[in-house]
Amino acid sequence: MKEIVRGAAVIILVSAILLFVNAKLNEGGGSGGKNTITVYNWGEYIDPDLLKQFEQETGIKVIYETFDSNEGMMGKIEQGGTSYDISMPSEYMVEMMTEKDLLLPLDYSKIPNVKNIDPYFLDLPFDPGNEYSLPYFWGTVGIAFNPTLLDGQTFESWDKLWDPSLTQQVVLVDSARETIGMGLNSLGYSLNSTNLDELRQATDKLKKLSPNVKAVIGDEVTQLMVNGEAAISLTWSGQAADMMYENEDIDYIVPEEGSNLWFDNMVIPRTASNIEGAHAFINFMLDAEVAAQNADYVGYSTPNMAALEFMDPEVIEDERFYPDEETRSHLEVYRNLGLEMLGHYNELFLEFKMDMK
């Protein structure tokens, strides 16, 4: 009997120690604790000094991880494992994650800095009423080009890319929505088309572009353009800004037929373990001066209208990156087309790439 009592006492003591250790971890900054948040973001997409500032101001430690694709990010959140408190999906992925019940609704009583966001960037179709997301950065898809390597060509129209004189001059991003979308836009069709005939026409037109295509690649496009190894690239506005910073000969334009208006957004995954800390982080990032500093570091356009007064006037008056209302009226936000249709886009994109070989 004494052995049973002694054994029970040991079990109680060990349990108490484990509870104490767990409580201390939650107090002090272990993963999932009330003084820790885990942020899951795109690579090189935040000023590291701001993470330190947030920690100093709030006492909340930031564990920072990165992803390189929306699909990879969603898959990891869906699997569980790590309790991500904040993530930054693109607009169509917000819609997809909402459908999969992977996001928590935002509590706006804890995000007073939402007042700083330009209403133009709120209440969009991928998240009506911004129930689950708030915009982090935005931008466009367009054409970066180096006039010094060309014979006077300009690119007010997508069709200019098909000019026979541009053999092996064009670099495309390795992304189905952007490349197939370029083909759709050049024909006057929607970026969100689910019409199989329109998609076939866009793919067939892209195949005629093949002689002009030097490569279909990812982030390497920046250095190719900066080094003068390519003259033209289909790219995102922020990537174009990086090119232009390193090579002043490079220019950027959104063709008149229209293009993509994209958003990356702050959300709280349903598996978050520090919801209070997550709201505090979102509110911090929406502070006007913080948003201005972050935009200056990252190079993409901020939706934070209060931040603009803290930014270089030359930056915010540059219509290549802060386009006017007329230009924006020709831009279209990606919608979630569903797995079957996205698969069809990917198949057509692969068909196009195989045709170049």
Q: HEC states along 106-149?
A: CCHHHCHHHHHECHHHCCCCCCHHHCCCEEEEEEEEEEEECHHH
Based on the fold, state whether residues 257 and 271 are members of the same structural domain: no
Range of the domain at 34: 9-137+264-316
| Per-residue confidence (pLDDT) for residue 326, from 0 to 100 | 86
Based on the fold, state whether residues 190 and 333 are members of the same structural domain: yes
Based on the fold, state whether residues 119 and 175 are members of the same structural domain: no
321 part of a folded domain: no
pLDDT (tens digit, 9 = 90+) per residue, 117-171? 999 999 999 999 999 999 999 999 999 999 999 988 999 999 999 999 999 999 9
1 part of a folded domain: no
- CB neighbours of residue 178 within 10 Å: 20
333 part of a folded domain: yes
Based on the fold, state whether residues 13 and 61 are members of the same structural domain: yes
Higher pLDDT, 220 or 11: 220
Question: Is it the case that residue 10 has pLDDT exceeding 80?
Answer: no
Instruction: Tell me the mean pLDDT in the region 345-349.
Output: 95
| Per-residue confidence (pLDDT) for residue 327, from 0 to 100 | 87
- Placement of tokens 């570091």 in the chain: 297
Q: What is the CATH number of the domain that holds 172?
A: 3.40.190.10
149 part of a folded domain: yes
Task: Using the CB atoms, write b or e for 119-131: b if 16+ within 10 Å.
Answer: eebbebebbeebe
184 part of a folded domain: yes
Q: How far apart are CA 165 and CA 169, in angstroms?
A: 9
Is beta strand 170-173 parallel, antiparallel or unpaired with respect to 232-236?
parallel
Higher pLDDT, 207 or 81: 207
What's the CA angle centered on 73, arms 69 and 77, to 5 degrees?
A: 170
Percent of the chain with pLDDT over 70: 90
Based on the fold, state whether residues 125 and 18 are members of the same structural domain: yes
| Per-residue confidence (pLDDT) for residue 255, from 0 to 100 | 95
Cβ atoms of 175 and 70 within 8 Å: the answer is no
| Per-residue confidence (pLDDT) for residue 21, from 0 to 100 | 39
Higher pLDDT, 17 or 351: 351
Instruction: Tell me the mean pLDDT in the region 269-294.
Output: 97
Nearest to 62 by CA among 39, 86, 91: 39
| Per-residue confidence (pLDDT) for residue 324, from 0 to 100 | 87
Question: Is it the case that residue 12 has pLDDT exceeding 80?
Answer: no
Instruction: Tell me the mean pLDDT in the region 323-347.
Output: 91
| Mean of pLDDT over the chain | 90
53 part of a folded domain: yes
Q: What is the Rg, in whole angstroms, of the alpha carbon atoms belonging to the chain?
A: 24
Based on the fold, state whether residues 333 and 254 are members of the same structural domain: yes
Residues sharing a CB contact under 8 Å with residue 265, sequence separation 6 or more, in sequence order:
88, 89, 90, 91, 94, 127, 133, 134, 135, 136
Instruction: Tell me the mean pLDDT in the region 167-193.
Output: 95
Based on the fold, state whether residues 336 and 212 are members of the same structural domain: yes
Angle between the N-to-C axes of helices 48-58 and 288-298, in degrees from 0 to 180, rounded to the nearest 10: 160
* Total tally of structural domains belonging to the chain: 2
Based on the fold, state whether residues 310 and 292 are members of the same structural domain: yes
Based on the fold, state whether residues 349 and 275 are members of the same structural domain: no
pLDDT (tens digit, 9 = 90+) per residue, 25-81? 344 333 445 799 999 999 889 999 999 999 999 999 999 999 988 989 999 999 988
Based on the fold, state whether residues 191 and 247 are members of the same structural domain: yes
3 part of a folded domain: no
Cβ atoms of 195 and 337 within 8 Å: the answer is no
Based on the fold, state whether residues 58 and 171 are members of the same structural domain: no
Instruction: Tell me the mean pLDDT in the region 321-333.
Output: 90
Cβ atoms of 121 and 135 within 8 Å: the answer is yes
4 part of a folded domain: no
Based on the fold, state whether residues 220 and 163 are members of the same structural domain: yes
Cβ atoms of 97 and 121 within 8 Å: the answer is no
When pLDDT is cut at 50, 70 and 90, the band that residue 218 belongs to is confident
Cβ atoms of 267 and 94 within 8 Å: the answer is yes
Instruction: Tell me the mean pLDDT in the region 337-349.
Output: 93
Cβ atoms of 204 and 213 within 8 Å: the answer is no
